[in-house]
Structure 1
Amino acid sequence: MENEFLWLKNDLDFVLDRIRKNIPVFYNKVPGAASHHLIYEATPNNYWTSSFWIGMLFLAKEITQTNEFDEVISVQMKSFQERLENKVELETHDIGFLYSLSAVADYKVNGTKTSRDLIVQAADCLMVRFNEKAGIIQAWGNLDDLNENGRMIIDGLMNLPLLYKASELTGNDVYKKAAIRHAKQTQKYIIRENNTTYHTYFFDRRTGEGVEGSTAQGYSDDSCWARGQAWGIYGFTLSYLHSGDYTFLESAQGLADYYISRLPVDNVAYWDLIFQEGSQQERDSSAAAISICGLLELAKQLPLSNSNRNRYEEAAIKISKSLSELYTTKGISEANGLLKHGVYDKNSNKGVDESVIWGDYYYLESLVRLSRSWNMYW
């Protein structure tokens, strides 16, 4: 590794050391969604964020090329099997997050046959949430919940790879068709003309007509929630990769261009892109980590002749270096997370200026992407 990337090796060493220290605490549990004073509490596997810990364990296994993480991975995988069998808190589109980073990762890394079956079972569970008329997967809540009925959110793009994988494994394109329709509706309704994004969009489930865009975790309905924009960069790129629809890659570029244009001096976004230098608002290091992964994959998928390739790679590296220098918990001995200055939900004052577990996962994924060729779990 070149000297200029010595920081990358040091960061990987830091992450692996922290993961090893965390295994006894989270052996048969998972870290909570957000830390409290930079310390995650151990919680049961019953939330949308539960798979980010096992995702980090799989990445650690791949980095080290050892069997030292196999025992805890096995315990965690059993938990995900039981969760699906018992339908524990699965009234969410985040079944995609949960089983991409568990079952898909296990199948790709270890070739486990039972995880192949688990992928398809989880995809079937996710397909229950697909509304044919609206062409969307309902994001949250029971399908009869009138407050959530017909809601899609930009985060949903990251749940679609589970459906693409199920079609690949079974030869049944019903999963892929649903995923593409959902991505198309996201493209049509959530992206605004100026390449900003709504967080959520409502549809009339009876007629399938789009009704209105709004926010749940952004500053306002017409602002641009930073993490949502980052999900969009990565998610549209993944839908291009799995579908071959080049318009998805064009959408990802538009979102990337706007995101980069709103970055402050240290290249780590405020929690909503409406804010700029001097606003005194919190940054969201988790949005930064997601954006690195999205920008790197976007650059990888663009044609060699596209001049944006280098620009997106350079932006990703700048954000990475800033996280490394200013946003990790290195030197904070009591912390058990990886990144500080994350924001879960500013509007409800939940996980504000803390470690958030998806930020930690994508931070590690970004380091892996920068250090080697990687067969991603998405």
Structure 2
Amino acid sequence: MTLATTSVTGLDSAVDAAVATVRANIARFGATYPDDTTTDGWYRPRPAAPGFAEGANRGWTTSFWPGTQWLAWELTGDDVFRTAAEAHAADFVRRVEQDEDLHTHDLGFLYTLACVAPWRLTGSEEARTAALAAADHLMLRFLEPAGIIQAWGDLSDPEQRGRTIIDSLMNTPLLTWAHEQTGDERYADAVRRHSEQLARHIVRADDSTFHTFYWDPVTGEPLRGGTEQGAFDDSCWARGQAWGIYGFAVNFQTTQNPELLDASRRCADYFLAHLPSDGVPYWDLVYTDGSDAPRDASSAAIAACGLQELAAIETDEARAAAYLAAGERLLRTLVERCTPAAEGIGSDALLLHSVYDAPKSIGVDEGCLWGDYFYLEALVRYTRQGWVRYW
């Protein structure tokens, strides 16, 4: 199975380098999982934790690992990638069956890539069943009457009750898929209400976004916005703005609510207007040229994917062309400035210079699993004709 190339040129060597790294990482890590980010440019095994051995399937980022393997399989048809990804799919089946580390809205990230993708690509019934079970777990976090999916924590935790984050827009596609599979309107209603609430409250009047927003869990009243990983409550965390571009575009296609298309445009325009002159975003868009703040290449990779998605649904031809061109520029900038090949250094990350959580000094100026995945997805989007997204 291989995808046909498009007319976009100059990216073939980047695709080859990324696929080679995925292949080498399969040989190195086998059935285990690396940490969320690299350390000094190299992935280490995911640390052990209570109840979990080193390299075990826990946390919110493990699915990006098989996600890159599925993309590599689509690019090459080489069964070394499919075999590795199917082994991880089986592990995600086990994870949901044994109720291991499921109390998070990131079930969408986890099970869309780990189980929906193989169902789409191979028809795996085991993966389908696991993904539907994960969707049901995610529905437990839907809060009435606020109409939102709670992001983090135990649902009885007063510190987290009624809180969601902009990343959640990429978790709702699991529920959209579950609705497509079952016809159960509960899933579609949750997607519609949650995405509308974010469009109305997490996007500010100036088109920037809050990272996180709180609703009163009893009355449903919107309360306040803030941040967890951005510079300030009123700044604009770059990765969150990128999630907004992609997530609102995807959820518009599900709901056909024009508010979501407009929200995606607004997020895109703000993101592009606040890029530094070299095109690699700072980790928070409050920083501008001349700052010594770290960059976040992962946000550019996400935005490149989202801009292509937005271009495909944009009703104005000129705007669509501009979004598509902007996404390609972001991708080319990453290839030219933020890869091991560009810098001539050794690393087992596909993409360098990303940031996980700057306020907590976690994964600053490192590779990361989601950066690798969305960088490879962007390469697939801009070089392969007819690719169908997993989300």
TM-score, normalising length from structure 1?
A: 0.97
Distance in 2 between residues matched to 1:293 and 1:97, nearest whole Å: 15
Would you say the 8 A contact 1:25–1:42 is kept in 2?
no
Report the CA distance between 1:333 and its aligned residue: 5.5
From the superposition, tell whether residues 156 and 2 of structure 1 become closer, same or farther in structure 2 (CA, over 3 Å): closer
SS in 2 for 1:56: helix
Aligned to 1:16: 19
Task: Tell me whether 1:375 sits opposite 2:388 in the alignment.
Answer: yes
Aligned to 1:121: 133
Moved more, 330-339 or 123-132: 330-339
Task: Tell me whether 1:362 sits opposite 2:374 in the alignment.
Answer: yes
Aligned to 1:136: 148
Q: 1:37 aligns with which of 37, 40, 51?
A: 40
Task: Tell me whether 1:324 sits opposite 2:327 in the alignment.
Answer: no
- Map Cα deviations across residues 68-91 of structure 1 (whole Å, 9 max, x no partner): 222212211111011111221111
Task: Tell me whether 1:175 sits opposite 2:187 in the alignment.
Answer: yes
**1:1-378 superposed matches below 5 A:** 5-6=9-10, 8-43=11-46, 44-303=56-315, 305-330=316-341, 334-372=346-384, 373-378=386-391
Report the CA distance between 1:144 and its aligned residue: 1.0
Distance in 1 between residues matched to 2:60 and 2:7, nearest whole Å: 39
Would you say the 8 A contact 1:299–1:309 is kept in 2?
yes
> What is the root-mean-square deviation in Å for CA atoms of aligned residues?
1.3
Would you say the 8 A contact 1:233–1:295 is kept in 2?
yes
Report the CA distance between 1:45 and its aligned residue: 0.9
Aligned length: 376
Distance in 2 between residues matched to 1:355 and 1:346, nearest whole Å: 14
Distance in 1 between residues matched to 2:360 and 2:250, nearest whole Å: 30
Distance in 2 between residues matched to 1:31 and 1:240, nearest whole Å: 34
Moved more, 353-362 or 202-211: 202-211
Report % sequence identity: 42
SS in 2 for 1:307: helix
Distance in 1 between residues matched to 2:161 and 2:113, nearest whole Å: 27
Q: What amino acid sits opposite 1:30 in the alignment?
A: Y
Q: What amino acid sits opposite 1:83 in the alignment?
A: R
Would you say the 8 A contact 1:140–1:148 is kept in 2?
yes
Report the CA distance between 1:246 and its aligned residue: 2.1
Distance in 2 between residues matched to 1:24 and 1:125, nearest whole Å: 33
SS in 2 for 1:212: strand
Q: What amino acid sits opposite 2:288 in the alignment?
A: Q
Distance in 2 between residues matched to 1:239 and 1:71, nearest whole Å: 31
Distance in 1 between residues matched to 2:344 and 2:69, nearest whole Å: 22
SS in 2 for 1:202: strand
Report the CA distance between 1:125 and its aligned residue: 0.5
Q: What amino acid sits opposite 1:29 in the alignment?
A: T
Would you say the 8 A contact 1:198–1:215 is kept in 2?
yes
Report the CA distance between 1:3 and its aligned residue: 8.8
In structure 2, list runs of 5 or more residues that go unmatched.
47-55
Moved more, 158-167 or 294-303: 294-303
Report the CA distance between 1:318 and its aligned residue: 1.0
Q: What amino acid sits opposite 1:327 in the alignment?
A: C
Moved more, 327-336 or 22-31: 327-336
SS in 2 for 1:255: helix
Distance in 2 between residues matched to 1:215 and 1:124, nearest whole Å: 28
From the superposition, tell whether residues 357 and 172 of structure 1 become closer, same or farther in structure 2 (CA, over 3 Å): same
Distance in 2 between residues matched to 1:364 and 1:14, nearest whole Å: 10
- Map Cα deviations across residues 235-260 of structure 1 (whole Å, 9 max, x no partner): 00000111222221111001100110
- Map Cα deviations across residues 46-73 of structure 1 (whole Å, 9 max, x no partner): 0100100000000011011232222212
SS in 2 for 1:344: strand
SS in 1 for 2:241: helix
Distance in 2 between residues matched to 1:161 and 1:71, nearest whole Å: 25
Q: What amino acid sits opposite 2:358 in the alignment?
A: K
SS in 2 for 1:207: coil
Report the CA distance between 1:201 and its aligned residue: 0.5
In structure 1, list runs of 5 or more residues that go unmatched.
none
Distance in 2 between residues matched to 1:271 and 1:69, nearest whole Å: 32
Distance in 1 between residues matched to 2:15 and 2:65, nearest whole Å: 16
SS in 2 for 1:5: coil
Distance in 2 between residues matched to 1:295 and 1:71, nearest whole Å: 31
SS in 2 for 1:23: helix
